[in-house]
């Protein structure tokens, strides 16, 4: 009888240990809550973070930093290698039909804000990569493979340019920062240098459409898209650009 009790206790202990282990894994993968968003000066910037879609095999918002989780929706996509070569930790929108809808939350167009993502085009071209626009209203961040890496469009008008051509099969980090008075774009290749545009005072008219990550025949891949409810400084964007966190 004593041996049976010992055996049962051992089984219970192993079960509890495993439960605790999986509970820890869940907390590590999706920690959530304000404690996870405390900025300790390492990894991506947490202060003002509204959403972080890391595309690690899903379209979930990685952390809830006070505004609730912001899940994305997508179609015609596959998961692919990220900029570190890790399988299934970036999203490939294929050629022409893929899309990721990040939602239409008011924070996504109410100044100030910052929107950044890693992007890679497999074929050359020029098109809107991040867009919250009806064409005549809203904003878009455009990428291209020649003469300029990115440009910013406000109300359908291109305002600022940066880079000398993004090139193909190279991960680039790109950002749009906006504070109602001015906007600015940033771009830089993985393991390269971050460049910034000049600032433009062009504003945009708000629109009720969603903010989308787009593709065309360029077979675009994205990773680690983040949205902030404030204008990040160039130093903070450089910190995100260099972060290995994902």
Residues 107 and 58 in one domain: yes
Torsion angle (degrees, nearest 10) of CA 60, 64, 65, 66: 130
Residue 40 covered by a domain: no
- Is residue 38, in this structure, part of any structural domain at all? no
Mean pLDDT over residues 172-191, rounded?
88
Q: What are the start-end ranges of the H helices in the chain?
A: 2-29, 33-36, 234-242
Show Cβ contacts of residue 21 under 8 Å, excluding neighbours closer than 6 positions: none
pLDDT digits (tens, 9 = 90+) for 8-47: 343 334 333 333 332 322 333 343 444 467 788 888 998 8
Domain for residue 227, yes or no? yes
> How far apart are alpha carbons 211 and 207 in whole angstroms?
10
Q: Is residue 218 part of a domain?
A: yes
**What is the reported pTM?**
0.79
pLDDT of residue 233: 92
What's residue 31's pLDDT?
A: 39
CA dist 139 and 43 (Å) reads: 28
pLDDT in tens, 124-160: 788 888 888 777 788 888 888 877 888 888 888 888 8
Predicted local distance difference test score (pLDDT) of residue 116: 92
Which position has the higher pLDDT, 209 or 194? 194
Structural domain that includes position 3: 1-31
Q: Residues 166, 57: one domain?
A: yes
Asked if the model's pLDDT at residue 235 lies above 90, the reply is: yes
pLDDT at res. 11: 36
DSSP secondary structure string for all residues of 194-244: -EEPPPB-------SSPPEEE-STT-EEEEEEEEESS---HHHHHHHHH--
113, 5: one domain? no
Can you tell me which residue has the tokens 């051992």?
10
Residues 12 and 80 occupy one common structural domain: no
End-to-end Cα, the chain, rounded Å: 51
Residue 172 in contact with residue 149, Cβ under 8 Å? yes
pLDDT value of residue 211:
80
Residues 3 and 120 in one domain: no
Residue 50, pLDDT > 80, answer: yes
Residues 77 and 195 both lie in one domain: yes
10 and 62 assigned to the same domain = no
Between 104 and 243, where is the model more confident? 243
pLDDT at 238: 94
pLDDT of residue 194: 87
| Residue 160 is assigned to a structural domain of this protein | yes
Same domain, 115 and 215: yes
In a domain? residue 217: yes
- Domain containing residue 133: CATH number: 2.60.120.200
If one compares 196 and 96, the residue with the highest pLDDT of the two is 196
Same domain, 157 and 232: yes
Stretch among 14-18, 163-167, 182-186, 212-216 having the lowest mean pLDDT: 14-18
Query: Is residue 215 domain-resident?
Result: yes
Name residues whose C-beta falls within 8 Å of residue 14's C-beta, 6 or more positions apart in sequence.
none
For the chain, what is the domain count? 2
Distance between CA atoms of 217 and 73, rounded to whole angstroms? Answer: 21
* 37 within domain boundaries: no
76 and 13 within one domain: no
Using only C-alpha atoms, the chain has a radius of gyration, in whole angstroms, of 21
Q: Are 117 and 5 contained in the same domain?
A: no
pLDDT of residue 161 exceeding 80, the answer is: yes
Q: What is the pLDDT of residues 66-123, one digit of tens each?
A: 666 677 777 778 999 999 999 999 988 876 677 787 877 777 777 888 989 999 988 8
29-48 b/e (C-beta count within 10 Å ≥ 16 → b): eeeeeeebbeeeeeebbbeb
158 and 222: one domain?
Answer: yes
């Amino acid at each position: 009888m004593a041996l049976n009790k010992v055996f049962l206790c051992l089984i219970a202990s192993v079960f509890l240990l495993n439960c605790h282990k999986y509970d820890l894994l869940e907390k590590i993968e999706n920690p959530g809550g304000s404690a996870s968003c405390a900025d300790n000066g390492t990894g991506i910037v947490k202060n003002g973070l509204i959403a972080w879609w890391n595309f690690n095999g899903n379209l979930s918002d990685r952390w809830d930093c006070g505004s609730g989780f912001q899940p994305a929706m997508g179609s015609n996509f596959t998961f692919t290698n990220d900029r570190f070569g890790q399988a299934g930790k970036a999203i490939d929108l294929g050629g022409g039909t893929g899309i990721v809808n990040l939602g239409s939350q008011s924070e996504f167009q109410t100044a100030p804000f910052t929107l950044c993502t890693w992007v890679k085009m497999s074929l050359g071209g020029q098109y809107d990569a991040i867009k919250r626009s009806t064409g005549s209203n809203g904003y878009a961040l455009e990428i291209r493979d020649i003469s300029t890496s990115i440009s910013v469009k406000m109300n359908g008008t291109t305002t600022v340019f940066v880079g000398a051509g993004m090139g193909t099969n190279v991960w680039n980090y790109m950002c749009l920062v906006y504070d109602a008075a001015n906007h600015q774009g940033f771009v830089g290749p993985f393991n390269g240098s971050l460049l910034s545009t000049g600032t433009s005072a062009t504003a945009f008219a708000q629109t009720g459409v969603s903010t989308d990550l787009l593709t065309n025949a360029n077979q675009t891949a994205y990773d680690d898209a983040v949205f902030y409810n404030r204008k990040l400084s160039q130093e903070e964007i450089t910190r995100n650009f260099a972060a290995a966190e994902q």
